[in-house]
Amino acid sequence: MARNVSTQAKVGFTIGAWVIALLLFSPILWTILTAFKTEGEAIANPPTFLPQHFTLENFGAVQDRSDYIKHVTNSILVSVGSTLLGLIIGIPAAWSMAFAPTKRTKDILMWMLSTKMMPAVGVLIPIYLIFRDLRLLDTVHGLTIIMTLINLPIIIWMLYTYFKEIPVDILEAARMDGAELWNEIVHVLVPMAVPGIASTLLLNVILAWNESFWTITLTSGRAGTLTAFISSFSSPQGLFLAKLSAASLLAIAPILLLGWFSQKQLVRGLTFGAVK
């Protein structure tokens, strides 16, 4: 967008935007800095901005106590697995809503969204009992199923709004029977909707990664994700702020990096039908 703006205005906007951006980022920045300080320096008064005695000992201490690789692997398996599963179920559903809508389509969509309003704490015991009986407690696939169900409404909604913007005429030509319909979805619709699917995928990986109730209550060690990892560093005995910061950094780093690198793809499809 090449709008004509005076240099003065640009300087003003730049300063303003940077100040606000840094303010928003400061909690994360502070955590990063603290992670490399000693425990004593982390709570020193007056505080230091940059680590005076740059140290990696916090990361060592964290790794000694918790198997970071195991937790990260579980987080990746659950978030990616549940998102892919959600896409497999969600793409056909979103297709039919977008291209063969009935008068109930919108109601169904809203009903799907409303399943997300059930408070997790209220259904913990039922889910726990079901998981116990199906032998799903502390398993990666158990968590993957839960995460899929939790995020499915969002997946369908995002895809639906994206699909709706694809001109129907292009698809109509190929519409014949079941086999060709599948072909149409795979070869015509999906390629056209790649930006929307990519952004749906990214958003749901983020949401699943950050889910913290079920991942803690339904696991015990083997299937524990990074949310369980972080729980072992919150308020232990003794000085802990630097170690907590290091653990926090480790917990958010993968998703932060993913988000940074895929920021454009994420944003492109993140409209939920907000744009017509």
Partner 1 sequence: MKLTPFIVGALTIALASSASAETLTIATVNNGDMVRMQALSPAFTKATGIDLNWVVLEENTLRQNVTTDIATNGGQYDVMTIGTYEAPIWAKQDWLVPLDGLSADAAYDVNDILPAIRGGLSVDGKLYAAPFYGESSMVMYRKDLMEKAGLTMPDAPTWEFIGKAARAMTDRANDINGICLRGKAGWGENMAFLTAMSNSFGARWFDESWKPQFDQPEWKATLDTYLGLMTDAGPAGASSNGFNENLTLFQQGKCGMWIDATVAASFVIGKDSTVADKVGFALAPDNGLGKRGNWLWAWSLAIPKSSQHAEAAEKFINWATNKDYLATVASSEGWANVPPGTRTSLYANADYQAAAPFAKMTLDSINAADPTHPTVKPVPYVGVQFVAIPEFAGIATNVGQLFSAALAGQMSADDALKQAQDSTTRDMTRAGYIK
Partner 2 sequence: MATAQTRTLARTMMLPAVVLLFIWMIVPLVMTLWFSFQNYSLINPMMTGFAGWANYIYVIGDPSFTQSLVNTLILVLGVLIITVVGGTFLALLLDQPVWGQGILRILVISPFFVMPPVAALIWKNGFMHADYGLLAHLWRFFGAKPIDWFAQYPLFSVIIIVAWQWLPFAALILLTALQSLSEEQREAAEMDGANAINRFWYIIMPHMARAVTIVILIQTIFLLGIFAEIRVTTGGGPGYASTNIAFLVFRTGILSNDIGAGSAGGVVAVIIANIVAIFLMRAVGKNLDA
Restricting to residues 207-226, which ones interact with partner 1 according to CB under 8 A?
A: 216-217, 220-224
Candidates 95, 99, 209, 240: give the one binding partner 1 (CB under 8 A): 240
Quote the CA–CA distance of 125 and 103 in Å, as a whole number. 37
Sequence-ordered list of residues with C-beta below 8 angstroms from that of 192, at least 6 positions apart, any chain: 166, 170
Pick 67 or 180: Cβ nearer partner 2: 180
Taking CB within 5 to 8 Å according to partner kind, which of partner 1, partner 2, none is near residue 48?
none
DSSP 42-65: HT-SSPPSS-SS---HHHHHHHHH
Taking CB within 5 to 8 Å according to partner kind, which of partner 1, partner 2, none is near residue 167?
none
Sequence-ordered list of residues with C-beta below 8 angstroms from that of 170, at least 6 positions apart, any chain: 188, 192
Q: How far is the CB of 121 from partner 1 (least distance, A)?
A: 10
Sequence-ordered list of residues with C-beta below 8 angstroms from that of 115, at least 6 positions apart, any chain: 153
Taking CB within 5 to 8 Å according to partner kind, which of partner 1, partner 2, none is near residue 115?
partner 2
**The amino acid at 270:** L
**The amino acid at 14:** T
Q: Which of residues 80-109 bind partner 1 (CB under 8 A)?
A: 80-81, 84-85, 87-88
Of 107, 118, 125, 68, which Cα lies nearest the Cα of 247? 68
Taking a C-beta distance cutoff of 8 angstroms, is the pair 233, 247 a contact?
yes
Q: Which of residues 75-94 bind partner 2 (CB under 8 A)?
A: 89-90, 92-93
- The contact mask relative to partner 1 for 32-51 (x = CB under 8 A, - = no) is -------xx--x--------
Candidates 152, 189, 223, 246: give the one binding partner 2 (CB under 8 A): 152
Taking a C-beta distance cutoff of 8 angstroms, is the pair 159, 269 a contact?
no
Q: How far is the CB of 237 from partner 1 (least distance, A)?
A: 5
Considering the rule CB under 8 A, would residue 95 count as an interface residue with partner 2?
yes
Considering the rule CB under 8 A, would residue 21 count as an interface residue with partner 2?
yes
Q: Which of residues 131-190 bind partner 1 (CB under 8 A)?
A: 132, 137-141, 144, 186, 190
Of 274, 260, 270, 257, which Cα lies nearest the Cα of 154? 270
- The contact mask relative to partner 2 for 116-135 (x = CB under 8 A, - = no) is xxxxxxxxxxxx-xx-----
Q: Is 228 exposed, middle or buried (0-12, 13-18, 19+ CB in 10 A)?
A: buried
Of 243, 254, 257, 250, which Cα lies nearest the Cα of 42? 243
Count of residues interacting with partner 1 (CB under 8 A): 46
Taking a C-beta distance cutoff of 8 angstroms, is the pair 266, 199 a contact?
yes
Q: How far is the CB of 144 from partner 2 (least distance, A)?
A: 13
Which range in 17-25, 94-102, 127-135, 203-211 contacts partner 1 by CB under 8 A? 127-135
Binding site for partner 1 (CB under 8 A): 39-40, 43, 64-66, 73-74, 77, 80-81, 84-85, 87-88, 124-125, 128-129, 132, 137-141, 144, 186, 190, 216-217, 220-224, 228, 231-240
